[in-house]
Structure 1
């Protein structure tokens, strides 16, 4: 199966991006390396709409469940190889599984593996992007803390994930995309 987009990273930015991509009708896969810093946060008291202050792990599970409810497939694994097969990216996971997609969205915080494999332009530790989240490699986007534009907080990362996803959909469709009924 070839997905429309693969999101590498299962934290708030990646899951938010996946949710927006799926709501646009795209076939989306999230590859979750289970490295989100949010997993270690004991309580998240400031996430809008969640007054009970869940643990970071509980918040991630809610985000995953929401994404899955929109058709997002989430798999655990670490990307160890990336090939551009002329319009389709093939990502090889550590366990040998291969997943393919037309576009990639990196939400990998400080994990440089995929960025290094693709030779992406960097700003120090961060992946260089334009304002819309496009990297130096065609059809590869980045969102959240990996861009270095947002602090490592769940709410800002999730907002940036949504922002970049809307731009990715707009690019794929060749016209502005809006995630609300006209």
Structure 2
């Protein structure tokens, strides 16, 4: 269970991130996928991660200390944000450096909008993660925004596509920040990753 969550630091340079002395779990997704809302729902703190109607609000690597034990990291979204090419290129370098070089990173949750058919940009990002050996799990967001059958249908299609990338479909969670759906399962999984890391 997440009892405390405190903002630690924002960084544009992965080498300035906090000392890699404890488990770290990152959240990433396409711009406007509902990442900040999900982090706020998981931590039970409405204003912890800044939410915005405008895509591309998160432009830095944001570290939060959870239960004084591990770091939750909010990463910039990929795709769609209206920023100039130079800035975008800088973000992409920052994200890829962080994901491939951060030695205490024990899980990356890739957020997918459950209302949409499989998107090429998400599949390409997952393919990159798979190729680079980044440990990923999927979180389908905004499940309260349409019927359960529509959500299930889109998730099924997406998982079929991931089977072409990975030998087996990754772990996945279905969530709604507004309804609190998936909070328990996701929190439990986060705790298992942290425990495994500490035991290792």
TM-score (norm. length: structure 2): 0.34
TM-score (norm. length: structure 1): 0.37
Higher helix share: 2
